[in-house]
Chains A and B, each alone.
Chain A
Amino acid sequence: MTPKRHSYALPILIVLSAVTVVTAIQAIFLQAPVESTMGIVQKIFYFHVPAAYAMYLGALACFGGSVGFLLHPSDRADAIAKAGAQAAVTFGLIVLVTGPLWAAKAWGRYWTWDPRLTTSLLSVLVYVAYTLLRAFTGDGEAERKFSAALGVLGAANLPIIHYSVQKWSGQHPRVISQGGGGLAPAMKPSLALGFLAFTLLAILIVWSRARIELAAARLRHLEEEALDAGLGEES
């Protein structure tokens, strides 16, 4: 994750992500058929579901980094946890905005306290809390440990979101999950491209944000060195 070792990997990932996103948009709007009952608004689905999956990826990165930090405290593990939480918030916001916009057409209202919607909202709030905690309490050892514990606990909600539709039913569609009716064959390539695009975006966001957090950690160490060297003033 150090900039020197992966100097080409990040630009390549950026280009690959951009190309995949453009290809996905082209497939969604020009190739995927319009759904018979909902009409064009159903096309939100091709980014809404992959965004939810990308939120899981961010949350898993946060979980992995947090476990790593609790076992062997390091700037790298902490940076991955922090970047994962930021990715989870980003994709969680996309899910929480695009879902209600679809629901406005499909259900006739923006929000309902359906089990999946409620558990998704709770999960996003956990990662918002994590991000705010890190933004306002600094990077002391105690804060980092407390955040790591929150990162581990936050992941506990992920299986609940996933199985909430099956366990407690509710209004949320289960087209591609177990017991669902499935997708029309012509819609599948667009959804697959959506998943690929959001997987690459999730990796890109976690990677780039972790690089920033590592640079911030390097800056903190340099400030300590500067004080030791008698420079006397933090920049």
Chain B
Amino acid sequence: MQAPVTATTTQEAQANEFRAVQGGTEIASGSTLLVEAYAVIWVILFGLFFLSWRRQARLEDKIADLERAVGKARRSDGAA
């Protein structure tokens, strides 16, 4: 018979006020912080690898174009 009374009392207290845990320093859930930490690691690493891959591809294209152009210019100089 005591349990329903306690539950009702707790519900009434929760309806009226919010109280922090006494002496606790927790400001966020450990699991959430862990997921956030690992997410940040992967975002940073994959971001860097993606940017590196894109820059490498762009540079290789430019180098190939320039090598072709320089080679062509030299051949035409030689022919002249």
Residues in A lying within 8 Å of B, measured CB to CB = 38-41, 43-44, 47-48, 51, 86, 90, 93-94, 97-98, 101-102, 104-105, 107-109, 201, 205, 208-209, 211-212, 215-216, 218-219, 222-223, 225-226, 229-231, 235
B25 touches A90 (CB 8 A): no
Given the complex, which residues of B lie within 8 Å of A226, measured CB to CB? 66, 69-70, 73
Question: What is the chain B residue whose CB lies nearest that of A83?
Answer: B52
Total A-B pairs in contact (CB under 8 Å)? Answer: 99
- How far does the alpha carbon of A129 sit from the alpha carbon of B26 in the complex, in Å? 35
| B36 interface residue per 8 A CB criterion | yes
Given the complex, which residues of A lie within 8 Å of B4, measured CB to CB? none
- How far does the alpha carbon of A215 sit from the alpha carbon of B52 in the complex, in Å? 12
Given the complex, which residues of A lie within 8 Å of B13, measured CB to CB? none
- How far does the alpha carbon of A105 sit from the alpha carbon of B24 in the complex, in Å? 10
Given the complex, which residues of A lie within 8 Å of B37, measured CB to CB? 44, 47-48, 97-98, 101-102
Q: How many whole Å from A231's CB to the nearest CB in chain B?
A: 6
Tell whether A108 pairs with B44 under 8 Å between CB atoms, given A43-B34, A219-B63. no
Task: Beyond A41-B34, A44-B34, A93-B44, list 12 extra A-B contacts (CB 8 Å).
Answer: A94-B41, A97-B40, A97-B41, A97-B44, A101-B34, A105-B30, A201-B45, A205-B48, A208-B56, A219-B63, A226-B70, A235-B69
B70 touches A212 (CB 8 A): no
- How far does the alpha carbon of A216 sit from the alpha carbon of B66 in the complex, in Å? 13
What are 13 sample pairs from A and B whose C-beta atoms fall under 8 A apart?
A44-B34, A104-B27, A201-B45, A205-B48, A208-B49, A211-B56, A212-B55, A215-B56, A219-B66, A222-B63, A222-B67, A231-B70, A235-B69
Given the complex, which residues of B lie within 8 Å of A105, measured CB to CB? 26-28, 30, 33
How many chain B residues touch A (CB < 8 A): the figure is: 32
Most buried by A among B25, B27, B30, B36: B30
- How far does the alpha carbon of A90 sit from the alpha carbon of B49 in the complex, in Å? 11
Question: What is the chain A residue whose CB lies nearest that of B31?
Answer: A40
- How far does the alpha carbon of A90 sit from the alpha carbon of B40 in the complex, in Å? 11
A218 touches B70 (CB 8 A): no
Given the complex, which residues of B lie within 8 Å of A222, measured CB to CB? 63, 66-67, 70
